[in-house]
Amino acid sequence: MQFEIYWANLNPTVGREQAGHRPVLVVSNDIENQMDIVTVIPVTSRKKGRRVYPNEVLISLENKEAILLCHQIRTLSKQRLEKKMAVLDETLKSKVIDVLCMRFQ
């Protein structure tokens, strides 16, 4: 489950949190994933001209550019997860880990 991308319902939200029905990347480890919650990073589509910031990771999802919003990491109930979409390759896993390590230093 770790480093897999799922569709999820992120509503309700507050303020500038990512909302709606969107992909999320599970980053919690396999031990934590045995509980009824998971830690995820929301994914957003990349709009033309949108810069990718150092606290984000650019990925390809369903043949489109998408951005992992590593600054919006959050914990969800597994009940919010729906269909699995993809699994990150080793290169992208490493990039995500690097960004998360930078974020929490």
What residues make up the domain containing 96? 4-103
| Residues contacting 15, CB < 8 A, separation 6+ | none
Which is more confidently placed, 55 or 16?
Answer: 55
Q: How many domains does the chain have?
A: 1
Question: First CA to last CA across the chain, in angstroms?
Answer: 25
Q: What is the CATH number of the domain that holds 70?
A: 2.30.30.110
Does position 13 have pLDDT exceeding 90, yes or no?
no
Does position 18 have pLDDT exceeding 90, yes or no?
no
Tens digit of each residue's pLDDT (9 = 90 or more) over 38-93: 999 999 999 999 999 999 999 999 999 999 999 999 999 999 999 999 999 999 99
The half-sphere exposure of 76 on its side-chain side, counting CA atoms within 13 A, is 26
* pLDDT band at residue 105 under the 50/70/90 scheme: confident
